[in-house]
């Protein structure tokens, strides 16, 4: 079973929209527009759900090797860290610089880890 190019493009576009909307939210100042924050979070959630569905399909079709398992676990943990740091940033309290940096880093690592996990699972590793 393979992951279609369309599915990878859709995931990439969801991540791209999430990054662009996150940058826009950061530059728009506080308090953030509730609708904008909600859309940002829902698009990120859609990316996570789509990746989860693809991982499950790949797991059922080809199984999971050690590398695929490790990448999938890492991706899940990074998604949780990204959501947690994003939740902290969306409060009305002033954001701590470490939380802002954490959100940026975990966001990027989540994207890299997601595509790595999909690649490893699709290749049966």
**Helical residues (DSSP H) of 29-96, grouped into ranges:** 34-62, 66-89
* pTM for the whole structure: 0.79
Give dist(CA 74, CA 71) in Å, integer: 5
pLDDT given at position 80: 93
Residue 92, pLDDT above cutoff 70: no
71, pLDDT greater than 70: yes
Nearest CA among 26, 12, 13, 24 for reference residue 85:
26
Res 16 pLDDT > 70: yes
Cis peptide before 31 (omega within 30 of 0): yes
* Segments making up each domain of the chain, as ranges: 5-122
Residue reference for tokens 């090797």: 65
Name the pLDDT band for 2 (thresholds 50, 70, 90). low
Lowest-confidence pick of 31-35, 37-41, 66-70, 76-80: 31-35
């Amino acid at each position: 079973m393979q992951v279609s190019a369309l599915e990878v493009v859709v995931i990439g576009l969801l991540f791209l929209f999430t990054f662009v909307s996150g940058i826009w939210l950061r530059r728009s100042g506080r308090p953030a527009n509730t609708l904008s924050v909600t859309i940002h979070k829902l698009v990120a959630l859609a990316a996570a759900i789509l990746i989860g569905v693809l991982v499950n399909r790949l797991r059922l079709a080809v199984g999971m090797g050690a590398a695929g398992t490790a990448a999938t676990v890492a991706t899940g943990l990074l998604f949780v860290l990204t959501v947690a740091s994003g939740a902290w940033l969306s409060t009305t309290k002033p954001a701590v610089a470490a939380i802002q940096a954490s959100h940026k880093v975990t966001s990027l690592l989540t994207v890299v880890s997601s595509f790595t996990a999909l690649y490893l699972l699709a290749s049966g590793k």
